[in-house]
Amino acid sequence: MQNLFRPLAALAAILIVSTAASAETDPLPSWNDGPTKEAIVGFVEKVTEESGKDFVPPEDRIATFDNDGNLWAEKPVYFQLLFAIDRVKALAPEHPEWNDKQPFKAVLEGDMETLAKSGHAGIAELIMASHAGMSPEEFQKIVSEWLATAEHPRFKRKYTDLVYQPMLELLSYLRDNGFTTYIVSGGGIEFVRNFSQDKYGVPPAQVVGSSIKTKYELVDGKPALMRLAEINFIDDKEGKPVGINQHIGARPIFASGNSDGDYQMLEWTTAGDGPRFGLILHHTDAEREYAYDRDSSIGRLDKALTDAPEKGWVVIDMKNDWKTVFPAAN
Amino acid sequence: MQNLFRPLAALAAILIVSTAASAETDPLPSWNDGPTKEAIVGFVEKVTEESGKDFVPPEDRIATFDNDGNLWAEKPVYFQLLFAIDRVKALAPEHPEWNDKQPFKAVLEGDMETLAKSGHAGIAELIMASHAGMSPEEFQKIVSEWLATAEHPRFKRKYTDLVYQPMLELLSYLRDNGFTTYIVSGGGIEFVRNFSQDKYGVPPAQVVGSSIKTKYELVDGKPALMRLAEINFIDDKEGKPVGINQHIGARPIFASGNSDGDYQMLEWTTAGDGPRFGLILHHTDAEREYAYDRDSSIGRLDKALTDAPEKGWVVIDMKNDWKTVFPAAN
């Protein structure tokens, strides 16, 4: 009997060793070891342990991620605003009236100070002028062309190269553990959908975002949707839980953001029953990326940073927690 | 050599036979053989044949289904309206003013004629009174309790037993072939989400529907969403392509509906490039279910029925195409 079982025992030993080796493969290689990484891995192991008291069935493993400053960079200003500016410049020849009309005049003269002073209303006007008056398909084409050619002023790389490598690993790690990953962006839903599958592995249907209204109509007898210069929904602050509930129909168990615009998403997510995880990316790395928080006009992180310890939200220290920031250049 | 390969050849033969047998297992057993079933199966085979000219990659295999009168019955009136009526009756003791106020008075007196005369505005008032003023979680609880106890007046079965067995098979068949199936309902998104996973295998995030607004607030310091008595979106007629684009971010290749409220969804879906499929359920079976079309106030099917041949939409003749209508009673 002993002899008969020896080969089986050897085989079992091989299987055990290879399983252990595979379990030891680091799913988050761009994260330094330390409390942040431990907290993330600990949470995922806890909710996926079938016999554990904190087990969460896969259909409830919903994770939501802010985009700007959380999955990709957002400085010097939101990349979508840079797209709007480039688009206004491209459309200017058809709009001579813009030469005398703010905020268009400021854009055409490269006067960023005046543009900044135009505030939310000015930005909204730019977005409408550059994002409406076409079908979603035409808009996708315009965004694709811009993303394929435009370059970040500091890093001299395409904007879609400025996604955060550690967050790409986190998205994959969560999905490998049965989570469904959603993007919940204050930015435009159709803008983010343009690259969400390619860059983040998140399909268009799993993107929640701000939107303008669209209208169904027949153009030369062909059915089409037309993008209108009218706000439909602002997916920011109190809008994030509203957008999540509308789109997903469930409360996430994991939320990740980087600014006070994500406060309510983090708050609503982590106030639910059972195991919950709130994650904040703190930009502390002026050398490799940017360092900003309480005083930044873009991506201000103030109240959420103050309340994080009390709320139990885990704060990523970009400089110390991340081995690399952006994917290696090709 | 011959001898050596004989066992392998025998094994191969067994494998081939068992594959063929499995391919012959009917995925749509409740559908009678005939042109309707052939058209459906032909479309699915064509878009999944990798080497074929009509191949559609899985991420683009999006199928949208209307709910009322398409996945479950809608007579004598939409089941959600019956829910609203029962809810108004349950809430009446807290609202003595309803005894003198239409359309509530009509509901409380069982005067369906006056209720019908109150039209869309009256129905909207009933929906607001019965669907708002609570969190989504509380609403789900109320809907669950109603669905667990309320009975259809004619069939004496729970409403969720009045789903169409052939459509359940079609949903599964499409999913087994790499489609993602969405419900796109004129009814309330949160109402349909209550049973979409259990009854249709469609998770809440894959339900598109009409909605009221919600507001994020702190109740006794606890974050909560509150359902407001204010329309957010009507997912009917021109609203269906708009809702689909907003929610899914893509144009379906397969759309299934049963009334003129689905016209634009069918039109937009089938006007796209490449292989497309439009499916209309024609209620022709007064004996097993109901027979109605052009003159019905609920689920009117007129223009879509007239235009179906020209548009290439396949029309299901319920009486002749379906072996069974509802799942067998337990």
Nearest to A216 among B223, B232, B264 (CB): B264
Does B9 score more than 60 pLDDT? no
CA angle B124–B127–B133, rounded 5-degree value: 125
To which residue do tokens 């169904």 refer?
Answer: A216
Pairing of strands A254-257, A62-65: parallel
Nearest to B268 among A223, A238, A245 (CB): A223
Q: Sign of the CA dihedral A268, A271, A273, A278?
A: positive
Chains A and B form CB pairs within 8 A to the count of 82
Question: Chain B residue closest to A267 (CA)?
Answer: B223
Residue from A192, A216, A238 to probe the interface with B (highest B Cβ count within 10 Å): A216
Report which of B243, B236, B254 is spatially closest to residue B298, judged by C-alpha positions: B236
CA contacts within 13 A on the Cβ side of B193: 23
CA B67 – CA B187 distance, rounded (Å)? 8
Nearest to B242 among A214, A239, A247 (CB): A214
Residue from A62, A245, A263 to probe the interface with B (highest B Cβ count within 10 Å): A245
Question: Chain B residue closest to A209 (CA)?
Answer: B246
Question: Chain A residue closest to B180 (CA)?
Answer: A205
CB count in 10 Å sphere of residue B46:
15
Does A57 score more than 60 pLDDT? yes
Contact state of A264 with B232 under an 8 Å Cβ cutoff: no
For B128, counting Cβ atoms within 10 Å of its Cβ (0-12 exposed, 13-18 middle, 19+ buried), the class is middle
Whether B78 contacts B298, CB under 8 Å: yes
Region of poorest pLDDT, from A106-120, A204-218, B190-204:
A106-120
Task: Give the model confidence (pLDDT) of A219-252 as tens digits.
Answer: 898 999 999 999 999 999 999 999 999 999 999 9
CA B115 – CA B124 distance, rounded (Å)? 11
Nearest to A136 among B136, B215, B245 (CB): B245
Q: Which amino acid is at A165?
A: Q
Does A18 score more than 80 pLDDT? no
Q: Angle formed by the axes of helices A35-48 and A165-176, to 10°? A: 20
Contacts with A215 from chain B: Cβ below 8 Å: 238, 242
Contact state of B223 with A249 under an 8 Å Cβ cutoff: no
Extract the tokens encoding A81: 């605003």
Length of chain A as a residue count: 330
Please give the ipTM for the structure prediction.
0.90
Question: Chain A residue closest to B237 (CA)?
Answer: A216
Extract the tokens encoding B275: 């292989």
Region of poorest pLDDT, from A8-22, A300-314, B55-69, B236-250:
A8-22
- The pTM assigned to this predicted structure is 0.91
DSSP letter for B284, please.
E
Closest Cα in chain B, distance from residue A215 (Å): 7
Contact state of A193 with B249 under an 8 Å Cβ cutoff: yes
Which pLDDT score, from 0 to 100, does residue A7 have? 54
Extract the tokens encoding B118: 């109150």
Extract the tokens encoding A190: 């159709």
Task: Give the model confidence (pLDDT) of A260-293 as tens digits.
Answer: 999 999 999 999 999 999 999 999 999 999 999 9
Length of chain B as a residue count: 330
CA A91 – CA A89 distance, rounded (Å)? 5
Q: Which amino acid is at A186?
A: G
Contacts with B215 from chain A: Cβ below 8 Å: 238, 242
For residue B267, what pLDDT band results from cuts at 50, 70 and 90?
very high
Question: Chain B residue closest to A218 (CA)?
Answer: B268
To which residue do tokens 């007196």 refer?
Answer: B109
SS3 state of residue B253 = coil
Which pLDDT score, from 0 to 100, does residue B1 have? 42
Which pLDDT score, from 0 to 100, does residue B272 have? 93
